[in-house]
Structure 1
Amino acid sequence: MSPAAHLTATLDLIEAIAAARRPADAEASAWFRAHRHIGDSDRGPMLALAYTLLRHHARLGWWLERLRLPDTPRHRLLAWLALDNTPSSHLEALLRPLPATERALLDKLRGTTIAHPAMPDSVRLECPDWAAAPLQRRFTDRFAAEMEATLAEPPLDLRVNPLRSTREAMLADLRDLGLHPDPTPLSPLGIRLRQRLSLTRLPMLKTGEVEIQDEGSQLVAMLLDAQPGERVVDFCAGAGGKTLAIAAQMRNRGHVVACDVSEMRLKRAAERFRKAGLHNIETRLLASETDRWIKRHKHGFSRVLVDAPCSGTGTWRRNPDARWRSPEDQGLDSLVALQSRILASAARLVKPGGRLVYATCSLLPEENEQQVTSFLANHSDFRTVPTGTILQLDQPYLSLTPAQHGTDGFFAAVMQRGGAEAV
């Protein structure tokens, strides 16, 4: 594509993301499917620029308000390019016509930086009002550092499928492709790639030898410690990333039930299971968190994972648009109440001596420690199991943050139901 066509197409993509109600990654995937003539060499830079604008959402909005210009995707793009020191003459040629108001925007921003001393901390750190108070309470003097870490572009983490390969073999294959992989420091199956690349360069994704999965998510699946031959439930399976890790951990033996309330997500998950060569997984569509299937299988499983729907604050660096959407729409209290109902219902599936793992990709105590404390207060037959007995982390609960661990933000608590059978 010519530079002009490339920038015009990028603006079209940015406008589509801004107008959509669904997450940016889903909208971008749909947009590229509708524009198949755009090749991989152009898609990567276009997507990177679109996500750069999302990571600077509040700051760009602040600048446009300061300059008294309408907050539009086009103005946001122009403002970023000016702040990034793209020559005005290039923009004049690439985004014609350029009216006087937009020329003035470029002139005023030329030579400045995205940060300004007059910016409030909430704008500078891209922290929405609904999350600021609980995050400040949690992190206190580390609040700024933790929020700055969520603004960084994340690496690409891969999880090796142990049924098809080894980490050593995959590291060697990735180096043969001219890449620079590193083993992840916490997960024994993880590989980290820090360079930006098209996924088409990774043939091992197509063969099922590796899956894309953040190291933190890999650790959550490891906490379940599912053994070959056991009966296991992934209660909120979604697209099936943790289900894949659990089934592989079981060496394709035993029975895993992947549950979700979305038929579409389960269909996509089933495709991933087949590609990975896993045959011990059953998908189960639930009408709600209190589906009758749960009562019929009470005390029927050795391990149950509840990866609960949450605010997603731990994934902000990977999904920068998420911080400006839910739970502001429905309220954090409603989300916490839903998590409580899901956890209580899923706990019915755990057999005596069995293990229940509650997890979120949230940084908020209301969704994490406070949720577990409330559950234990109402379920005296469960007790916590320190995560350090399973992982090499000295934590009572798994608590990961981008700033401290280089992963997405994850929380997980391991609980065991009292009974004669040991976990």
Structure 2
Amino acid sequence: MTPAARTAAAIDLLDEIEGQPRKPADAVANAFFRDRRYIGSTDRREISALVWSVLRARRRLDWWLAQGSAARDFISPRLLVAAHQMLDGRPLDSVARGFSGGRYAPAELDAEELRRLRPLDGHTLDHPGMPLAVRHEIPDWIVPNLTARFGPALESELAALAAPAPLDLRVNLLKATRDDARTALARDGITAEPTSLSPWGLRVSGRQAVTSAAAFRDGLVEIQDEGSQLLVGLVEATPEMRVVDYCAGAGGKTLALAMTMQNRGQIVACDVSAPRLEGAVKRLRRAGVHNVERHLLEPGDKWAKRRAGSFDRVLVDAPCTGTGTWRRNPDARLRLRPEDLAELTVKQSQILDTAARLVKPGGKLIYGTCSLLAEENDAQIDAFLTRTQGFTLMRTLSLTPHANGTDGFFGAVLQRQASSPDPDPADQP
């Protein structure tokens, strides 16, 4: 593809992302490229890089394009891409030549588009007049929440949160050592170094096609952020245990739990989504895991009630705002609303109350999120302990991109007292 054709494809992809505002951008992109298999891998990478660069800079681009325009003026994907190219160092004349209207190229920039782009000539993306929320690409409403969380470290954390995330892998010790996995990756030209915090992690440098490597296809490695690996470490699951992964999704943490349990004991992977649980099957087979059963949580389901007090470990990787993963999902910060946070904190409380009943006396409940917000983390645990008898907080884990080089994660380990009654919330009959 020519550079102009890549620009046109990036505009089309951005248009589709904007047309599905509640759907993650990576899911939209996957469908976009699946429907256009004629786009080769190199072109896909270039198109994706441009689109994700625009998404990472969306608020700043909007700020520039709002200068001298009415606040509600529509900002099209065409304008966003052209503005990004200009603020990345290209003069307007050069950008306009790429919008030639020729074969596979975007249509020519019209007079109104040129008027809005002309003031950007000679400028760079950042500007001292930008408000903090614009400069760091976060919603205005969340600034007080993050200020309360980070205090003087706020700007450092926000800067780290705006940077691209590294690619981390978890070595599957059921099939290989970390050195074995590194060697296997190297055979496919993929350089990986041990992570500094997780004993099972490898960090891959640059953008490399890990999923096409033999090490991935053969189940030696799984893609998993180092912070997520450390949350699994909090569970301390051993081979003789019965363990529940209560919000298992597609099974990333289930796989890691099976590894720490040496494929022994019993793991029940639960989720409310049948497609997500079904998606775990292929991953379990590839990893050689066979100590996992899946259970779909449905309205009116009596499964949790029948198995109350029967598990050594219960992991709740709770649904959350995902603010800790904004490095990977820059579009998510544009979608997050205050009402989302309010709805999620209620859901988290309900899940904690139900999952707590599964923990046997002396067992442990492990709560985790990929959120940076106190409302979903420490405050959620404080509220649980206030309304629930028989649990003691043993430890917490807090990880951030700036402080730890991982995604933002929170974890808390709560132990049920050996002689405690069924853990019904204190404020319920």
- Shared fold (TM-score, shorter chain, > 0.5): yes
State the shift of 1:417 in Å: 0.7
What residue identity is the alignment partner of 2:64? W
Superposed, 1:231-380 pairs within 5 Å as 231-288=242-299, 291-328=301-338, 330-380=339-389
State the shift of 1:71 in Å: 1.1
Question: How many residues in Structure 1 have an aligned counterpart in Structure 2?
Answer: 409
What residue identity is the alignment partner of 1:367? E
SS in 2 for 1:354: strand
Residue 66 of structure 1: aligned partner: 67
CA deviations on 1:74-93 (whole Å, 9 max, x unpaired) are 11111000101235444333
Residue 410 of structure 2: aligned partner: 411
CA distance in 1, matches of 2:214, 2:13: 27
What residue identity is the alignment partner of 2:76? T
Residue 97 of structure 2: aligned partner: 93
Residue 125 of structure 2: aligned partner: 114
SS in 1 for 2:162: coil
Q: Say whether 1:79 aligns with 2:79.
A: no
CA deviations on 1:157-211 (whole Å, 9 max, x unpaired) are 0000001111111222333433332110000010001301233552211111100
Residue 30 of structure 1: aligned partner: 31
Q: Say whether 1:155 aligns with 2:170.
A: no
State the shift of 1:18 in Å: 1.3
CA deviations on 1:84-141 (whole Å, 9 max, x unpaired) are 1235444333323122233344432122111112211111111212321111011111
Give the 3 Å change call, closer, same or farther, for CA 199–63 of structure 1 in structure 2: same
User: Any conservation in 2 of the 1:305–1:356 contact (CA below 8 Å)?
Assistant: yes
Superposed, 1:38-53 pairs within 5 Å as 38-53=39-54
- The alignment-based identity, stated in percent, is 49
Moved more, 192-201 or 43-52: 192-201
Residue 427 of structure 2: aligned partner: none
CA distance in 1, matches of 2:174, 2:190: 23
Give the 3 Å change call, closer, same or farther, for CA 206–413 of structure 1 in structure 2: same
State the shift of 1:12 in Å: 0.9
SS in 2 for 1:320: coil
Residue 12 of structure 1: aligned partner: 12
SS in 2 for 1:357: strand
Moved more, 197-206 or 141-150: 197-206
State the shift of 1:235 in Å: 0.5
Residue 400 of structure 1: aligned partner: 399
User: Any conservation in 1 of the 2:184–2:214 contact (CA below 8 Å)?
Assistant: no
Moved more, 144-153 or 110-119: 110-119
What residue identity is the alignment partner of 1:65? A
User: Any conservation in 2 of the 1:44–1:197 contact (CA below 8 Å)?
Assistant: no
CA distance in 2, matches of 1:335, 1:129: 19
CA distance in 2, matches of 1:409, 1:385: 21
User: Any conservation in 2 of the 1:260–1:286 contact (CA below 8 Å)?
Assistant: yes
Residue 123 of structure 1: aligned partner: 134
Moved more, 408-417 or 315-324: 315-324
Moved more, 311-320 or 12-21: 12-21
What residue identity is the alignment partner of 1:150? L
SS in 2 for 1:60: helix
CA distance in 1, matches of 2:85, 2:116: 11
CA distance in 2, matches of 1:342, 1:41: 43
State the shift of 1:73 in Å: 1.1
TM-score by length of 1: 0.93
CA distance in 2, matches of 1:106, 1:366: 41
Q: Say whether 1:139 aligns with 2:150.
A: yes
CA deviations on 1:260-313 (whole Å, 9 max, x unpaired) are 11111111112211111111111111115x731110110111110001111111
Moved more, 272-281 or 81-90: 81-90
Residue 178 of structure 2: aligned partner: 167
CA distance in 2, matches of 1:405, 1:223: 16
State the shift of 1:420 in Å: 6.6
State the shift of 1:376 in Å: 1.2
Q: Say whether 1:223 aligns with 2:224.
A: no
Indicate which of 374, 391, 394 corresponds to 1:385: 394
CA distance in 1, matches of 2:234, 2:16: 39
What residue identity is the alignment partner of 1:369? D
User: Any conservation in 2 of the 1:312–1:362 contact (CA below 8 Å)?
Assistant: yes
SS in 2 for 1:4: helix
CA distance in 2, matches of 1:384, 1:141: 28
CA distance in 2, matches of 1:103, 1:332: 39
Q: Which runs of 5+ in 2 are unaligned?
A: 102-107, 421-429
State the shift of 1:331 in Å: 3.7
CA distance in 2, matches of 1:224, 1:327: 31
Indicate which of 213, 226, 230 corresponds to 2:224: 213
Aligned-residue CA RMSD (Å): 1.7
CA distance in 1, matches of 2:282, 2:93: 49
CA distance in 1, matches of 2:264, 2:200: 19
